[in-house]
Amino acid sequence: MTAAVLAARALVAGYGGRPVLDGVDIEVRPNEVLCLIGHNGAGKTTLLKVLFGLVPATSGELRLDGEPLARPTPARLAAAGIAYVPEGRGIFPGLTVDETLRMAAWAAGVPPQERAARLEWVHGVLPRLREFGPRRAGTLSGGEQQMVSIGRALLSRPRCLLMDEPSIGLAPKLFQDMLRPIRALQQSTGMSVLLVEQNVREALKISDRVLAMKSGAIIREAAPGELADNAKLMELY
Ligand code: ATP
């Protein structure tokens, strides 16, 4: 079997000595959308941050392509093709969308001669970003800003995208408008996506596998179809 792109075993992590993750096992496999759900404060964001090297693990093991990853840092993970879309968009409101994307191309180390083509490729995936180009990001709606944040992450052409609640504040239709192109890209390229979502109904429509988290641990793995019934879903909360 092909190794997981990113994996963690018995992961423990927290803040100021207080554990938040309490022995988490997770595998993000090639060519899948893995959806991570769970109540507020369950530790979903913390898990993404540990996987991207932003929060150190107290103990446990991280693996990248099956190889132990002793000292994960965002730079190391980004160089390995992992991209992170943080919760809350993380855009600079005063920069235009074009400026934001150009800066991201520079930050992702895209060689100057390839930047125009790379931007074109991102515009191909998320065509509305072309239309928003001259606008300051702060003048866009929440969903539009989220699209910029995703576009920025795509500039590195990641093979694994870690997304933290991209749907926050979005109506179901906007959620699908935003994430359907990512699902299509994932299916055509074999990319992996780890999607943290509270908007479970919409997220399940574009997921291959679901993990439910509670109080810092993974309590259940399911196929999206198994959670279609509301009662089943409620058992997890
Ligand atoms: P939500 O769905 O509300 O975003 P979550 O499942 O993503 O929640 P986390 O954000 O990982 O949960 O938070 C888990 C716990 O860790 C919470 O109790 C939170 O208060 C705490 N926590 C998160 N970040 C920090 C921090 N920087 N310092 C101290 N405690 C933190």
The domain spans of the chain are: 1-81+158-237, 87-157
Which are the contacts of 36, defined by CB distance < 8 A and separation ≥ 6? Answer: 26, 44, 47, 194, 195, 196, 197, 210, 211, 213
pLDDT tens digit at each of 237 positions of the chain? 689 999 999 999 999 989 999 999 999 999 999 999 999 999 999 999 999 999 999 999 999 999 999 889 999 999 999 999 998 767 889 999 999 999 999 988 899 999 999 999 999 999 999 999 999 999 998 888 989 999 999 999 999 999 999 988 777 888 888 889 999 999 999 999 999 998 888 899 999 999 999 999 999 999 999 887 777 777 777
Its pTM stands at 0.94
Measured in Å, residue 44 CA sits from the centre of ligand 1 at 8
Tokens in use for 82? Answer: 């992992």
Using the mean position of ligand 1's atoms as its centre, give its distance from the Cα of residue 115 in Å.
36
CATH class of the domain defined by 1-81+158-237: alpha beta
Q: Is the CB of 45 under 6 A from ligand 1?
A: yes
Q: 44 in ligand 1 pocket by Cβ < 6 Å?
A: yes
**Alpha-carbon span 147 to 192, nearest angstrom:** 18
